[in-house]
Structure 1
Amino acid sequence: MSQDSPAQKQAVSHVPAEDDAAYDYDVLVVGSGFGGAVSALRLTEKGYRVGILEAGRRF
């Protein structure tokens, strides 16, 4: 990763240890666009615990 990488400019938040159970997923879908939303829906219908990671403000 270069010194000017956008990833290095992003703030990283820390989740306290007691909240770790709230973030226990079988699958993490990156992006809540049409494909991500449908994938998340289908996986939850099959019984998977699904989290969606979205960078935008609207989903």
Structure 2
Amino acid sequence: MKILFYVVLILAAVAAYVQVAEACIGNGRSCKSNGSMGNCCSGFCYQQRGWKKGYCKRR
């Protein structure tokens, strides 16, 4: 029974890691500078005043 518990625990940890790894937005895709649409993989969302959305890009 303990082995089953550890297997489930490891699978849950792997699933959580995969979700975090896929959570970032790639360059050129839409984003919002406040992070409400997610975070850019590059860490930078280019959004000028008046724009409803910006786009992810490298600095």
TM above 0.5, one fold?
Answer: no
Q: Choose between structure 1 and 2: higher helix proportion.
A: 1
Normalised-by-shorter TM-score class: under 0.3
Provide TM-score, normalisation by structure 2.
0.26
TM-score, length of structure 1 as denominator length: 0.26
Structure number with greater CO (CA < 8 Å, separation at least 6) is 1
Task: Find the structure with the greater CA-based Rg.
Answer: 2
